[in-house]
Amino acid sequence: MIGRDNEQTPHLGDSVLDSALDSVPVGAIEAGGTKFVCGIGSVDGEIHDRISFPTGPPEETLAQAIDYFAGRGVQAIGVGSFGPIDLRAGSAKYGFVTTTPKVGWANFDFLGTLRRSFDVPYGWDTDVNAAAYGEAIWGAARGLDSCVYYTIGTGVGVGVYAEGRLLHGLLHPEGGHLRLRRHPDDTFAGCCPYHGDCLEGMAAGPALQARWGVPGHELAADHPAWEIEAHYIAESIAAAVLLLSPRRIILGGGVMQQEHLLPLIRQRAAASLNGYVAASELAEGLGEYIVAPGLGTQSGLRGALALGIRALEQSRSGLGDSSLSGI
C-alpha cells in the first residue's frame, strides 16, 4: 500500500531528534565545475565556517575537501555536485560523477573517496537539486512543496523539487539543454557542443560573450542582448510551468546578477503562457512567482547542508543511510 506522507514541506530539524542534533556539526560540499565550496553547518541551517578553492583534478580537489573536514567531527556530509552524476539507489556507480567532459572527472567515485576518510551518512545530489532543496527549506520557496531552481552562469542548470521531493528518474533533470523557439531577431548559432542552440548554448555566460563580443556584465541594461537573453530563459520557464507546475521558480547564477533581467523574463514568460494556466500565482506579472534566490549565493552550499542533515536524520531514525536510499 502506498501511504502518502502528509507533510507538504520538509522541516529539517523539526524532528524528535532535534535536541540531540542541535549542536552536531554537519559538513556541506558545493562541488561546482570551476569552484568547490566546503562548509560546516548545523541543523538550524546556519553555516559556521566555509572555504572555497578551484576545482582541479578530482583526487587533489577531494584531498583539499578532506583536509578541511579532518578533525572537525562532522557527523554527516551533504554533497551537491556538478554532473551528470549517478544517484540511482542500488546502482554500482551510485556516488560517481559519470560522463562529464571535465578532464579526469568522468567515472570518478566522489562519495567513495569521501567515505574512505569519513564513515558518516552522506547526502548526494546534483548542485542544482541541492540549491532547489536549500531554497525550499530555508529560502524563497520555504513552505512550498515544489520549486524549480535555475543557475544561469558558465552553464545553465535546473534543479527540481516536486511533491516535497527532489526529482530524479532516469538520471536527474538536465533542463539547461532544452531546445527552444528562436528569438526572431537572433541569428546566433549557439555554442552547446551537443545541441548548438539549446538554452545553455544560447543563454549561458559564454553564449553572451560569443554573441556580443564582451561579457554580459559589460552590456548596458538597455542593450538588445537582454531581450534576447530573457526570451530563452522565459521560454524554458514556460516549459517548466507546463511540465512541472512548480509553485515557485528561482533564478540564480552569475548572469542573473544583472538585476534588470528578471523583470524582462517575467514579461516574456507571461506572454509565452498567455494566461493558459489559471493559477492566482501566475497573475500580477509573476512578481511573486519568478524570483531571485532567498539565500543569495548560498543556495547550493546550504542545500548541500540540508542534504547532509537529512542523511543524518534518516540514519538516526533507522530509515537507512541516505546515500543508499537517495533523496
Q: Do 142 and 224 contact (CB within 8 A), yes or no?
A: no
Closer of 115 and 182 to a copy of itself (Cβ)? 182
**Ramachandran angles phi, psi of 233, nearest 5°:** -65, -40
Closer of 28 and 141 to a copy of itself (Cβ)? 141
Place of cell 549542536: 23
Distance (Å, rounded) from C-alpha 291 to C-alpha 87? 28
Closer of 103 and 220 to a copy of itself (Cβ)? 103
Distance (Å, rounded) from C-alpha 190 to C-alpha 142? 35
Reduced to 3 states, what is the DSSP secondary structure of residue 189?
A: coil
Point out which residues pair with 29 in neighbouring strands: 38, 79
Rounded least distance, CB 129 to a copy of itself, Å: 11
Distance (Å, rounded) from C-alpha 174 to C-alpha 84? 9
Rounded least distance, CB 77 to a copy of itself, Å: 18
Rounded least distance, CB 214 to a copy of itself, Å: 28
Task: Give Cα separations from 62 to 33, 69, 86, 129 (angstroms).
Answer: 13, 11, 18, 21
Closer of 109 and 145 to a copy of itself (Cβ)? 145
Closer of 50 and 179 to a copy of itself (Cβ)? 179
Q: Do 159 and 147 contact (CB within 8 A), yes or no?
A: no
Rounded least distance, CB 218 to a copy of itself, Å: 30
Rounded least distance, CB 35 to a copy of itself, Å: 24
